[in-house]
Amino acid sequence: MTTETSSKPNRPLDGRATLVTGGSRGIGRAIVERLARDGARVVFNYARDEKAAEEVAAGVVAGGGEAHAVRADFAEPAGVRELLERATELLGGDLDILVNNAVLPFMPTPIVDIDDETYDALLTVNLKAPFLTIRHAARTMRDGGRIINISTLNTVRPAPGISLYAASKGGLEQLTAVAAAELGPRGITVNTVSPGATETDLLRDTNPPENLELITRLTPLRRLGEPADVADVVAFLAGPDARWLTGQNLRATGGLG
């Protein structure tokens, strides 16, 4: 008697309507690719790099998944609304999963040198935009859905020059906690993932090599994170095994804390 083993891949998110903000590169790209590999139907936005975004979508499709790239710049007044409208069209209805990953790049700057325009722009992209997408999800997400917000280790490990970035992410963490309490009765979980130093263009652009060498030495696992390390944590929170986790902040930092 022989036993046949099915070659069908494990797809815990099969058919789940998913929106990922900021999905064209770095951690966002890894999240799009991982969730699509798990069977999610993904819409993601990008602000400027259309070529990179289309490469992500094409790669997912080539692998048998579904992903759609939408240009929507959250720094523009109508950016979030345009993305939500287009996502509804592409996904054909309500959401199952929302991942807030989009962030405005910010060079470390002392508080004394930050102007009003920079403050407004960064808080708009990093905090107001996630508030708007979460509000949309609260109105349209199916019961049992998942909301995952990407924060940063810097909310508990502050450093000079990152006041706006850390403040915006701290606000996002509080928004997560409140949304978890409000949406829990519908079985919707709301959690935060806080990456440590992760190997991305943004990290390289905002840190000199000596900083990254120091961070690597201080990290118990003795390396920088990879985008896939964070995407795997997001996939866990998006899946059925995380059904009893809500209002939590999972620090994907390699032990740096």
* Residue 165 a catalytic site member: yes
Residue 74 and residue 46: Cα distance in Å, rounded? 9
Backbone φ, ψ for residue 78 (5° rounding): -100, 5
Residue 245, SS3 per DSSP: coil
| Tokens at 192, concatenated | 């935060």
Among 222, 250, 242, smallest CA distance to 150 is for 250
Residue with tokens 């403050």: 119
Nearest C-alpha neighbor of 98 from the set 137, 40, 142, 71? 137
Catalytic residue among 165, 198, 227, 252: 165
Distance CA 160, CA 152 (A): 15
CB 44 within 8 A of CB 24: yes
Given its phi and psi angles, is residue 38 left (phi above 0), alpha (psi -120 to 50 degrees) or beta? alpha
Tokens representing 56? Answer: 């992500």
CA angle at 28 for the pair 172 and 31, rounded to the nearest 5°: 105
**Chain-centre distance of CA 104, in angstroms?**
13
Report the catalytic residues. Answer: 165
